[in-house]
Each structure stands twice: as C-alpha cells, then as structure tokens.
Structure 1
C-alpha cells in the first residue's frame, strides 16, 4: 500500500497533477475497472473456451488500469532517491509477469490499487471533517455604508467595516458586536455546545484599539451561526486571517510536527525497504545456487516474499491515527498542532497551571463580608458602595458590582471628596462623616491605639484563606472587614478530579500572586502543590523540575506564560479563539476559556496513543507471520489479500477516533457562577 498519508511522502502524482476527467474518483474507477478486467480474464481462461489472446489481453488491461496511478507515484519517489512501497509492488507485479504468472500479477495490482483507493477514501473522511469548516463562511457579506447596505465579497472586507448580520444567518467575519442582541452558535469554531449570548461593546473605538474590555459576550467569529436577533459587527480581521481560517490552515498543516513514533517509523523505513529488496534477491539467489528448483519458481517465491514484507500497514499506522485525532479535536474546540504535541500530551504525568484566568476567573469578587456586629451589616454595605462607586481603585468595580444588589432599598448614601491613598486604600466623606476603607497599614498609621483585636483577628483569618482584606471605618466607628479574592472557576475542581482519573498524578499551580493566595487556590481545588510569588523565569525553573520527573504540560494564556509553555513538554493555551498569539505560542490550544475541555484533550491523546500501538502491533505481526508463510509456499493470492486487508484494518481502526467520546467531556463542563 502506498503511504500518501504518511509524513515522508509528497502528494501522489494523481494529487499533484490532477485526476483527469473523472476528478478525485479516478483512482477508484480505475481500481474497479481493473477488477472487472481481472475477473473477465479469469472467467475466459478457466471457465470459457476462448482464444488465448483474450485472457492475456484482459490481464494486460488489468496491469494497465491497476498500475497506472502506482507507476506515477513510484516514479516520483524514485526520482527523489527513495524506494518505497509503490516500487516494491510494481517490482512484484513485473516479476510475476516475467515468469508467466500474469493472473497472479493482475490480482496483486488489482487489490493493491483497490486497497489504496479505499484507503484514500477512508483517510479523506478525516480531512473532510476539517474541509467542511471552510464551507461555513459565507462568500459575501452585507456591509453598512452610511445609510445604505451593500453586498460585497468577503475578500473585500477591511478591518473597521461594519457588517450587518441577519437573523439565522452565518457570520462572514471576525469582529465585535456594536449593535443588536442575539445568541450565536459558536460550535463550529470553539466547540461550545450552547449558544453564547452577544451584546454590544461599550465603546467601539476603544474595543478596536485594544484598550476597551472585549469579552466573549462581544466577540464573534466568521462561520458561526447567528440566532434570532440582528447584529451589527465591526470587522477585526480580514477573511484570510479569521480564527476559522487559521484553525483550518493549522490543522491541514498539522503533520509538520511529526510524533516521535512517526519519526522512528520514517527512519525505520529508510533501511527496511532496501533490506527487503536485498532479502528478496537472497531468496532468489539461494534457489538458483542450490539448484533445488527452477529459476522461475525461485523468482516467483521472491516476488511473494516481496509482497509479504512490504510495510504498508506500518507506514500508515501513525499518520492515519494522528489525522483522525487532530480532526476530532478540532471539532471539539481543541487545536492540536500535529502528531508531536498530541503524542506528548498523552504521555504527560504532571500538569502545571497558571492561576489567574486559568484556574480562576481572572476577576476579583467579594467573598467575605464580616461586620463587627450584625446590626452594622446594612451600614457597612451602604457605606462601602457609596465610596467605592466613585473610586478608581482596581478593586472598586468588583466591590460595587457584588455589594450594590445587597444594599437595603432607600438607604443610598452619597460620597464626596473621594481620595485614593496609594498602597493604602481610599478616604471620603459620606453625609459629612469621614470614611476610610483600606488595609492594615492605613489604619496602623491613622489610629495610634492600633487596630481593635477583633478586627485584627478577622483580617488574619481572611489572610490565611488567601483573601485581600479591606477594613471599613465610618466616623471613627469600625464597621467590619471585606474579603476579596479572584475565585476559582466552577469547573476547575471537577477538571482536576477528571485529570487524576486519567492518571495525571502531579498537578501544581504556578502564580505570581503571594504564597497565601496560591495555597488557598490549590487547597480549594485539590492540587498537589502551590508555588506563589513567581516571576516568568521562576516558572521556567519550576517547569524544569517537573520535566525531570516526567512529561509536563503547562496550561496558561499563551502570552504571559509563553516562556514556561515553551519549556514544558506541551504548552496548552486557553481562550485561543480570536488570539493569533495564543494559537502561535501553544502546542495545544483550547479555543474557549473553558478549562473543562482539558480532560477531553488528554483522554483523546491517550486514546490516540493506544490506537497507534494497536496499529503498529497488527502491522508487525502480519509481516512477521506472512514472510515465513511465503517462504514455506504460501501463494501470492492469499498473501495479497492478507497484506491489503491488514492495511485497511489499520486505517479503519484509526478512524474510530473520529467518533471519540469520553463521558461528557467532549462538550466541556458548563460554565457556572461566572462573574457578571
């Protein structure tokens, strides 16, 4: 069997130069036609009383039809100085003809060409699953020009154009929503099983310049399906640079990163094929020297051995599995850059996680509200909301968001003279009373008597839980303490449990935050260790220590964690949809920020490794059994059937990965309790 899908081979001649009038079905048609002529030859020779020229002509036609595409491919490889499987099959068929075994040579070429045609058909299933994505993007777009809307080709779209997306239609470009509300089905790009609600971005110009906050509620992708609402979308990437286009291109080029197994097979074939040719010559030579059988029989036996020893199934075992797995991963919103990262991910025993935005939401939340006594709770809430709603402190927005809804109705206060004290907190006047909200340093400096013991104990307790704390005092009266923290994602703990079930025994968090915060996250999620206060170079050093114990994956955002990701066995970027940097940095990219896809990626990679092992075992066992059998007299017909059958068995086994499921992991874990 030829190895067109193997990474070492160029496109077959029929692919490189066109298929002719019949298009991509030409090889299949030729293979079927060769089967018809072979059958006709056998019937006319053994069942009918026909002139001798008729079966001879039919067998010759079988040679022509069955060998046409194989000859073209073999010529290409020989020109490159390589002798591969195509050459071995042609040599065997030519040898059979040379000793008058036209029928045997015909069945070899018929089955070989049919097997290759079926193999390419099977392999194209994986390729079509990716190519089909390219059909999702409309060829035209409705663009708003002033008060008019005109239809143009998507190749004419420019960054900054405003595209009108009608209800229940596919989006033609990547961009941000500037008008309209709708739910968009993004499964074709991100693998997200549920439609994502979209709303306009607050400031169009800031969003386009990169200064404004653009979340998944604002960002849309080409090829996704709009729901029932109309949207106006400002284009942020040209058609050839869209997220969908990049994903398709990267999956098509995935074989540029060969797996270690495939590199070994490539090296193995460099000496194996010449060794087979030498072995065949030895079989023929021994028969001639010994004089125990006529030359024709020795030559025929050598040709049968040639068929049996050809490494067809071995050559296709790894690339067929890798292609199917890469295609399946892309369908689920996981982009694996070829066999190397895919196989490496299946072998990792340790995973290091960045904290912020990976295990946590990346947004602070008020986790604790501890009044000095319960009767002061409402006053504590209203005072904090009044001050923080006018503050520009980084935590002010989170505090206002989480506490405003808890404030008692009709008790709104107004803050004036709000002043931020760098490194300390904020001061203000509320209804003429002096209010201070800040850390222990602020109150140690303000209060000569020191912080009350109960307040200090609360602060210490919250610090031990990894909280950032703020003490609140109103008119000289201590009201209580706030605890703020970037909370873990709802799906993070189940993900850790699933990874442990998959055999990942060492999981750690690497964070630039202080050690207490890192410890709190690790303890809450069941991680094995936490390392806080790390600079980028410190993370690289930690990855080095983990690598010394076995394969390590680093999960981060693909940008800030790039050095650690590069030094890990596998770098995994989260939220890569719409991010060219993340796609280029990582070995594996989760197209959304749903960490729930990580167990699926690990499980798929391990299933791929298992399929590859199965395929290699079958391929080697078939060769090991067939070669001795042919030396003992197995004729060419059964040898060809077994040989070609093993190749199709290997391909069929690999294609099972296209239907890979592991529990509910293919859909990710639902987002819950996400900060607004």
Structure 2
C-alpha cells in the first residue's frame, strides 16, 4: 500500500466523518425547529441539509455497489429516504441517512488507521549497512556504508554497539548481547559470538531490526533485505485478511435478497393498486410508499451498530479499546486463546527469583558479594541482578578490577580475593566443576527455567543466583476466569527455550506451553488452534513479533502499556492499562453484546413483517411511522443496556499485581 494511497484514504475518512457529524447537527436542528419552535419550514430546510450531508457518501456507495450488480442495504436506505421525503416524511429519511452515514464513516476511518501498522513494522530495519570492502574479515577490516537493498548473501556486515542489526546473518567476529525481543520475543538479551565447535548455529544468528548491545559484531549475511525475518513479519501482517463477524456475514447474505425483494415488492404494490384495484395514482403511490417506509430497514440497520457502539463505549470505560464490531462480536465466540509469554503472562523483564547459598555459606555473604561485583557491570542481566539483590542485603562490599568475559560472566576483586560470577561455561572453560550440592542446585533451577549466575570467591562456590522473567500473579486468576467464560483451550507460545516456556506454563496453569517459536512459527500455531472445526481463536501479545500471529487470529489482543505501537495498531482489542485482569471482562462483554445483537435482529425483522401486514390492512401512515420509530427506539434502548454491564465480578476479584521492580521500590 503506497503512502499516497494511505494519505488519500485517511483524507477521505476524515471528510466522511465530518459530513456524518454535519448531518447529525442539521437533523437535531430540524427536530428542534419543528417540535420546540413550531417552524416546519425551517425544519424542512434543516432536514434537506441532512439529506445532503448524510446522503453524499451514501449515494456514492450505493451507485458503486449498484454498478457492480449488487443491491445492498445502502441502496434501499437511499430509496426509503427519498420515498419518505416524497410523502412529506423528511425527518424519517433524515435520521436514516444520518445514522447510516455515521457508521460507514467510522468503518472507513478504521481502515485508514490500520494501514499505518505496516509502515511502523518496516521502519524497524535500517536503511543502510556497513559492508566489508577490504582487509581482514574481522572487526579490523575496512567497511563502507551501502544501501540495505544492495547487501547480498555472504557479505560481511559491521554491527556497531547499540545500533540496530541491519541484516539477518551469523556472527563471524566480536561478542555482544543482542535484544532480539522485537523479532523472537525472547525476554532477555541473547549473547552472540562466533560459532565454537558443535555449538548450534541458531545461537549465533542475528536478525535485522534487533538491537545490538555494547559490543561490536561482524556478521555474514544469510538473507537479502526482502527475505529477512522482519520482512516476513511485514508480509504476514500485510497479507492477512480480517474475517467478518458472523452477524455481518449473515446480513451480507440477507441483504442480497432483501433489498431487491423489497424494491420489487413496492413496485408490485403500486402496479396492483393502480391497475388491478383501480386506485388513483396518488392513492396507489401513497400505499407503495407506506409499504416502503414500513419495510425500510431502519431498526434492522441499527440492530448491530447500536449494540456495537454501546459495547465499545462500555469497554472503553473499563480500559479496553475494541476496534469495531467484528472483534467485539467474535471475541465472545472464542474457544481457544493463545498467550505470548513475555510481557503478557510475564512482566517482560528479568528479575531475581532464587538466591541459594552453598552449604556452610551465609546467604548474606552470597548476596553482598554478588551486589558488589554486578553493580559495576552495565550488562542488562547484571543490572537486573544488582537491583534484585540490593533489596535483600544491607552489607556493603567494594569490588574492583572488573573484567567482562563475554557470553560467560565477569571477574573482579574484593579485598584482594578473586570473585567469579557467570554461567557454567565460565567455569567449565577453566576446568572447574561445581561440587555436588551446588551442582544439584544448578540442575534444579535450570529445570525450573531459570537463567543462572554461579558465584565463586577465592576458590569457594558461594551459591547460585536464579533469574527469570517472572509470571504475573494475576495470570492464574485470569486464566481461571476465562475458563469460567467458556474458553476451553489456553496455550502459551514463546520465543524462549522450551524449558523456560514449560516452567512458566506450569506456574500460570496453561493447557500447553510451546517455546522456541519465531513469528512465522507462531502464525502456524494460531492456524492450528483454529483447526478444521472452525473454532474461533484469539491471540494475546505485546510485541512486534506478536503482530503476525495477532493478525492471523480471529481476534488479536494487545497489552497496551507494555505493548509496542505496532502491536496496538495490528490488534483488534487493546488492554490500555497493563492489567491482564481486563481480559475476562472483555470476553464476557463480547458475549453479552452478541446476545443483544441477536435480540435486536429478531425484533427488527419481526416488526417489519408486522408493519407490512397492518399497512395492507389499512393502518394509516401516522401509526405506521410511530410504530416504525418506536421499533428503532426499542432496538437502541436494548443496546444501551450494555452501558450498564457490570464489571464487578469479571474484574474486581482479580488482584492487579505491581511490577516486581515497583514492589522492591515500595519496600
């Protein structure tokens, strides 16, 4: 989609909304002039103005659909409005055009906004790359800037510290930690270094659009820009069609028959009245127009949008943004929900979860030693450890001579004694094996999905620090409420390792936990959840990597405060606060909305049938119009009940947990 098209569609949507608002103002002015001021001529002027503003885009839409061979509800509404005016019922036609134009304008505006998400995705990738042009194939080589579309597979690309990675590739020189949550969803920066022996290639791969840490890297490109993982994300979002809601599909099928049938029926009424029953032209035309007004789908047209507007407004008051009727209605039909792990069921940031001292070692010694060393490092994981440990010890030690061992940990001195803090490779590379008790702690914590820092001082193991992206305490309660609401299958999908995913899944109580997934893998899993039995599936996420899966799902749900702008634009529903407890409320509200829509449709169709019958039996136009307008009020009043939908049971029982860092700060 071109930028020019985006601009034109957005411009047209703003004009259409302006015309719809103008038609509402003129209609209200006409009603005041006629019923409050007793000025029918002035009222007629305002109603005609409503015809202009409300009918301008309606006429364009009706002409376009008619030329395409489709007689849709907008065509019948236009004919009904003209028919109402021809028998002096200007107010009837005016309100019809106002409400229809307003709903259509809001749809166009939503479509114009949706296209911006693709631009935001594509903007993550750098426009240029520094490509190797001479010298050694290392950081010491010569590099020159080149447009990203001229980077070929096999080129060596320099990734500077704290810069975005410009191409998918594998590391051939340098060491650094890369924040690749934007693509893979992993909660913590991943250490990258050249391949070493049998080490899996995937651990050395980098992705375009991710953010490099403090070290420089040389990467061998493995894909051109248009074939990068990020480009696939953009393509997936751009190519995914949003399915219409069941009621919308029903009305689409119904109006193909209803609209031409009503037109043919009205013409038949006029012909029979004049040429068979021998009525005068005025009487036959009056009867035909009375039938047209009786059969006009005013209440039918309002049955869905009035409920949708009330439901969306109620959701907004509860901090839930719903982008239109399709997701609002479809959410209530969901049987399966897939949750992204990072930032959704968890906080999305590493936190200290375990501090286990070795036998004969005081816990405070482990904590104070760890704090003294880690506070000197600027590594993201070291920062998280320092913050978590600082709240648990008051002992102050001073460390010096910090040395970083990339991909493994750090070394420093405390009172002249060497302190080593890092993963197992820091020690195994030096031929040091943890003793039995510490080894058992390491195995146990790794099985629980923890990232481990082993602490050793002066040749003695002090213990182990476990770090994890901690689950939200409210997640367990939220999943329970969703099951009460009829959601039968709850799955967690994550870019983290399967072991980490399973550990979090057990803690929060999902039915299945799937790890090690890239964005395209998540899309495949969402398709599998929908399955062959046409089950409705929702996807809850917060990052760029979740956008394709949310677009593929029947309903995409974004966590607002923690989510990226792309996820919010791509999603159908956004929880505006960082509060997962709003999700059960949204599901229950959606189900109530669907019930009210069905009630409105049945009532609207029933009243139309009744009015057509009593019109033939001789009921005057006045009562017909009164009942017709009354049916509209009934439909609207029924829909407005959604504004009083009680959030209490759906949310009040879910205690919203403070972020772990805020809890520590409060303490």
Q: In which range does the TM-score fall when normalised by the shorter chain? A: 0.5 to 0.7
Whether 2:642 is the aligned partner of 1:651: answer: no
| Mapping 1:209-608, distance limit 5 Å | 259=245, 261-262=247-248, 264-265=250-251, 268-269=254-255, 271-286=257-272, 291=277, 301-373=287-359, 375-409=361-395, 412-447=396-431, 450-548=433-531, 550-575=535-560, 580-608=565-593
Find the aligned partners of 2:650 and 2:292 in 1 and give their Cα distance. 46
What TM-score do the two structures reach when normalised by structure 2?
A: 0.65
**CA 1:646–1:17: 2 relative to 1, 3 Å:** closer
Cα offsets for 1:640-674 (capped at 9, x unmatched):
22211111211222233334332265788533353
SS in structure 2 at match of 1:512:
coil
> Residues of 1 paired with 2:372 and 2:610: CA distance?
83
Structure 2 residue aligned with 1:613: 598
- Could you tell me which residue of structure 1 aligns to residue 32 of structure 2? 29
What do you get for the CA RMSD once the two structures are aligned?
A: 4.1
Distance 2:407 2:342 in 1: 21
Query: 1:595 is paired with a residue of what secondary structure?
Result: coil
Within 1, Cα distance between the matches of 2:80 and 2:42? Answer: 18
Pair 637,405 (structure 1): closer, same or farther in 2 beyond 3 Å: closer
Q: Within 2, Cα distance between the matches of 1:673 and 1:70?
A: 52
Instruction: Give the drift of 1:270.
Output: 5.3
Q: Which runs of 5+ in 1 are unaligned?
A: 1-6, 38-60, 95-104, 131-205, 207-212, 214-255
Cα 1:573–1:645 change in 2 (3 A) is same
| Per-residue Cα deviation, 1:121-161 (whole angstroms, up to 9, x for no partner) | 9x99xx9xx9xxxxxxxxxxxxxxxxxxxxxxxxxxxxxxx
SS at match of 2:657: coil
Q: Closer, same or farther in 2 for the Cα pair 1:297/1:555, shift >3 Å?
A: same
* 1:527 CA drift (Å): 0.8
* Separation (CA, whole Å) in 1 of partners of 2:348 and 2:51: 59
Measure how far apart 1:519 and its partner are. 0.8
| Deviation of 1:636 (Å) | 3.0
Contact 1:352–1:508 (CA<8 Å) still a contact in 2? Answer: yes
Counting matched residue pairs gives: 502
Q: Deviations over 1:284-326 (max 9, x none)?
A: 4445565598887665544443332221111122222223333
- Report the CA distance between 1:497 and its aligned residue: 1.8
Structure 2 gap ranges (5+): 1-11, 67-74, 110-161, 163-178, 180-241, 663-667
Check 1:523–1:262 CA distance in 2 against 1; reply closer, same or farther (3 A cut).
same
* Residue of structure 2 in register with 1:249 after alignment: none
Q: How far has the Cα of 1:31 moved from its partner?
A: 4.2
CA distance in structure 2 between the aligned counterparts of 1:67 and 1:280, rounded to whole angstroms: 25
Q: Which has the larger radius of gyration?
A: 1
Normalization by structure 1: what TM-score? Answer: 0.65
Deviations 1:241-265 (A, max 9, x none): xxxxxxxxxxxxxxx9975534653
The 1:290/1:13 distance shift into structure 2, 3 A limit, reads: farther
Say whether the 8 Å CA contact 2:584–2:650 is kept in structure 1.
yes
CA distance in 1, matches of 2:562, 2:434: 48
* Shift, 1:13, TM fit: 11
Deviation of the 1:598 alpha carbon: 2.3
